[in-house]
């Protein structure tokens, strides 16, 4: 299924970003922000996973989040990271996006043993397949198949499997 088919769309009066407080309770956003931004600098991978799970994210056993990596502050419960997956330094997993006349949200799924390199952005509704690799400094705006190697802006296939 394409990314666009997995997104939930909500029309707003322009500009939609000005309506953010109607999307999610500001107190909930504040708590999520404090926890998620503290996790960016936590050296303990186990503690990061513990706090992300408290916020509702589904984090698999032995998943690793690099220093500075961030999950979405609006909808952390829409993030799923499989066992032994690695999220690289300063990578962003987004589950929502505000556009001019609408906002969207969608689940982000990272498969088991997947690797997302440093400084990547994964957009809402994207699935990274089991064992897949997304190279550093990439924009994942569509699904990455199982055991594939993708990279670039926007990310595209570099190699089918390795």
Position 122 pLDDT exceeds 70: yes
Q: Enumerate residues 6+ apart whose C-beta is below 8 A from 133.
A: 114, 115, 116, 117, 148, 149, 150, 162
What's the confidence (pLDDT) of residue 110?
98
Q: Is 41 exposed, middle or buried (0-12, 13-18, 19+ CB in 10 A)?
A: exposed
**pLDDT at position 45:** 96
What span, in angstroms and rounded, lies between the C-alpha atoms of 154 and 54?
32
- pLDDT band for 14, please (50, 70, 90 cuts): confident
What is the model's pLDDT at position 161? 65
Task: Name all domains of the chain by residue range, CATH numbers in brackets.
Answer: 7-154 (2.160.10.10)
Please determine, for residue 132, whether its predicted confidence score (pLDDT) is greater than 70.
yes
Q: Which of 9-18, 44-53, 142-151 has the lowest mean pLDDT?
A: 9-18
Return the pLDDT at 162.
61
Which letter does DSSP use for residue 80 in this model? Answer: E
Confidence (pLDDT) at 34: 98
Note the pLDDT tens digit of each residue in 31-88: 999 999 999 999 999 999 999 999 999 999 999 999 999 999 999 999 999 999 999 9
- Mean pLDDT computed over every residue of the chain: 94
Helix and strand element counts for the chain (H, E): 3, 17
pTM of the model: 0.94
Residue among 155, 105, 102 at smallest CA distance from 132: 155
Contact 116, 90 (CB under 8 A): no
Q: Does residue 22 register a pLDDT over 90?
A: no
pLDDT at 27 over 80: yes
């Amino acid at each position: 299924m394409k990314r666009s088919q997995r997104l939930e769309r909500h029309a707003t009066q322009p500009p939609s970003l000005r309506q953010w407080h109607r999307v999610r309770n500001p107190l909930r956003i504040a708590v999520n922000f404090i926890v998620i931004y503290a996790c960016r600098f936590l050296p303990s991978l186990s503690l990061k996973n513990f706090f992300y799970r408290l916020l509702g994210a589904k984090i698999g056993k032995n998943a690793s989040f690099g220093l500075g990596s961030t999950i979405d502050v609006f909808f952390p419960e829409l993030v799923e990271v499989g066992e032994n997956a690695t999220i690289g330094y300063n990578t962003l997993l987004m589950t929502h996006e505000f556009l001019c006349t609408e906002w969207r949200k969608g689940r982000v799924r990272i498969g088991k043993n997947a690797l997302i390199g440093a400084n990547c952005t994964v957009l809402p509704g994207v699935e990274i397949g089991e064992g897949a690799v997304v190279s550093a400094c990439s924009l994942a705006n569509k699904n990455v198949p199982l055991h594939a190697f993708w990279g670039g802006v926007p990310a595209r296939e570099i190699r089918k499997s390795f």
